């Protein structure tokens, strides 16, 4: 198993390119199932989760052709299987995103329930009840969601909570339904907007994306399209947290600062000098960060996917920060590992109190989930001596060559294989 060895205390300098967003690319890849015509995608990030999604689509019969590192053509012309098997779904929960498209285009689907997850229960009940509202007959048998519908019918659906992939699944399904669907309490995340923009290019009639009320007028069929995946706001935010703890001067290209309001504002409060243009961000940091309180929230609030990385920033900050996680029940798995570096953190339920210390000291740590891994790498950049982060397959799921990009910025970080 690969691990990362980091010798901390080196300021970061230089420029790196931000990759396409994992959480936009995954639903967009699944949208290929909605049409018999090819989808051409650019800025697809080179990630383990993308590989898993492609394997899943290929076993459905989708032809995938790579054209260079970040471009792909997908053709769901001849679909062979309407089943998403447990072996793939259990490794990536986003596999549930094939349910809406398969059901809408082929009238049936059999998709494994994802099962447990390190950061919380993460049920998919809202996906299921939403599809039922669209007229599907759904049962859960032997661990599989079995869904059937001759043709879905538009409906008004109000999800019990804001769900990102739930909104995406229902939006995709509704594009081919008969009549109009209204998604109330919809997720406003930029990744939902990117998916809607692709679907519109495919001939879908969607309005209101980016607000909490999305209206979809069903059409009989969708067609092929070309689309470039939006920039990864979480990857960009993670590198900005890295410079917040290590100090230095970095520039991110291919970024989308307009999707990063909450993160950029917290980084400014932490003392990072930020400048940005339409597709770039520069950040300069001197000295220790200031402690910043963080409360996770749906977009446009502070993203839960940035909570762990900000926790790392707060461990070395001047002052005490309160970090509240409101989206997932169990997203503090990084805390015990940060404590092994000398961080002073106390957890009470969904709240963590982080008292900044002047210096962390390197240790061997174990990554537990994707964003937790990034937080440990960031903390390692601030720690004295060597930090070893084990189980970085979690990191590889969602960060494209993170250690290479950090090395490009001058960090002393190596991947050790085996
Ligand atoms: N929820 C339910 N029932 C549902 C759906 C959601 O109870 O049917 C609950 C969840 O358990 C959670 C809350 O609603 O407590 C929000 O979950 P949501 O459905 O929004 O999360 P998701 O769609 O499964 C996506 C991202 C996550 C990100 C969350 C929140 C993708 C592929 N994943 O997950 O990304 O944390 O939204 O923003 O888009 C990551 O990239 O590291 C990651 C975990």
**pLDDT for res 139:** 96
Closest C-alpha to ligand 1, atom 2: 123
Instruction: For the chain, give the mean pLDDT.
Output: 97
- For residue 41, what are the contacts with CB-CB under 8 A and spacing of at least 6? 25, 28, 29, 71, 72, 73, 74, 226, 227, 228, 229
Tokens of 274: 């930020």
Rounded average pLDDT over 230-239: 98
Ligand 1 neighbourhood includes 159 CB (under 6 angstroms): no
Residue where the block lists tokens 């492609």: 54
Ligand 1: atom nearest CA of 23 is: 39
Judged against a pLDDT cut of 90, whether residue 203 lies above it is answered with yes
**pLDDT for res 323:** 98
Closest C-alpha to ligand 1, atom 25: 164
Whether 117 is a known active-site residue: answer: yes
CA dist., res. 204 & res. 196, Å (int): 8
Ligand 1 neighbourhood includes 35 CB (under 6 angstroms): no
DSSP helix, strand, coil percent of the chain (3-state; round to 5): 35, 30, 35
CA dist., res. 407 & res. 411, Å (int): 5
**pLDDT for res 290:** 98
Are the C-beta atoms of 37 and 78 separated by less than 8 Å?
no
pLDDT digits (tens, 9 = 90+) for 76-118: 999 999 999 999 999 999 999 999 999 999 999 999 998 777 8
Cα 119 to ligand 1 centre (Å): 10
Segments in 349-390 forming alpha helices (H): 370-382
Query: Per-residue DSSP letters for 246-267?
Result: H-EEEEEES--GGG-HHHHHHH
Rounded average pLDDT over 401-409: 96
CA dist., res. 174 & res. 5, Å (int): 47
Query: Per-residue DSSP letters for 40-94?
Result: EEES----HHHHHHHHHHHHHT-EEEE-SSS-EEEE-SS----EE-HHHHTT-GG
Q: Which of 9-13, 112-116, 344-348 has the lowest mean pLDDT?
A: 112-116
Rounded average pLDDT over 336-346: 98
**From 165, 183, 262, mutation site for ligand 1 pocket: most ligand atoms within 8 A of C-beta:** 165
Rounded average pLDDT over 294-314: 98
Residue where the block lists tokens 């010798």: 7
């Amino acid at each position: 198993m690969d691990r990362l060895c980091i010798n901390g205390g080196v300021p970061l300098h230089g420029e790196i390119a931000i990759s396409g967003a994992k959480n936009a690319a995954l639903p967009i890849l699944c949208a290929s199932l909605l049409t018999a015509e090819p989808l051409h995608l650019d800025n697809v990030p080179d990630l383990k989760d993308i590989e898993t999604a492609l394997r899943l689509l290929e076993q459905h019969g989708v032809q995938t052709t790579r054209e260079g590192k970040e471009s792909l053509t997908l053709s769901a012309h001849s679909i062979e299987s309407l089943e998403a098997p447990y072996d793939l779904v259990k490794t990536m929960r986003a596999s549930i995103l094939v349910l809406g498209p398969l059901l809408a285009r082929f009238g049936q689907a059999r998709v494994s329930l994802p099962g447990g997850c390190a950061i919380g229960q993460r049920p998919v009940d809202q996906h299921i009840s939403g599809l039922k509202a669209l007229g599907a007959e759904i049962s859960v048998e032997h661990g599989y969601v079995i869904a059937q519908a001759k043709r879905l019918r538009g409906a008004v659906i109000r999800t019990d909570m804001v769900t990102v992939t739930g909104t995406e699944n229902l939006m995709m399904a509704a594009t081919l339904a008969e009549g109009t669907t209204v998604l109330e309490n919809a997720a406003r995340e930029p990744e939902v907007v990117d998916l809607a923009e692709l679907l519109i290019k495919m001939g879908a009639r969607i309005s209101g994306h980016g607000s909490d009320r999305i209206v979809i007028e069903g059409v009989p069929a969708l067609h092929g399209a070309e689309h470039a995946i939006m920039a990864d706001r979480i990857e960009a935010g993670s590198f900005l947290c890295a410079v917040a703890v290590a100090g230095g001067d970095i520039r991110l290209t291919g970024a989308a600062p307009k999707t990063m309001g909450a993160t950029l504002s917290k980084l400014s409060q932490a003392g990072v000098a930020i400048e940005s243009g339409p597709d770039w961000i520069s950040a300069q940091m001197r000295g220790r960060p200031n402690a910043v309180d963080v409360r996770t929230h749906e977009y446009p609030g502070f993203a839960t996917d940035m909570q762990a990385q900000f926790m790392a920033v707060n461990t070395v900050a001047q002052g005490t920060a309160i970090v509240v996680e409101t989206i997932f029940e169990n997203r503090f798995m990084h805390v015990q590992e940060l404590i092994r570096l000398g961080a002073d953190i106390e957890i009470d339920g969904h709240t963590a109190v982080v008292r900044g210390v002047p210096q962390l000291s390197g240790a061997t740590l174990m990554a537990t989930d994707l964003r937790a891994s990034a937080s440990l790498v960031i903390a390692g950049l601030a720690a004295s001596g060597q930090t070893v982060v084990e189980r970085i397959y979690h990191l590889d799921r969602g960060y494209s060559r993170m250690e290479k990009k950090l090395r490009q910025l001058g960090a002393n970080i190596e991947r050790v294989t085996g």
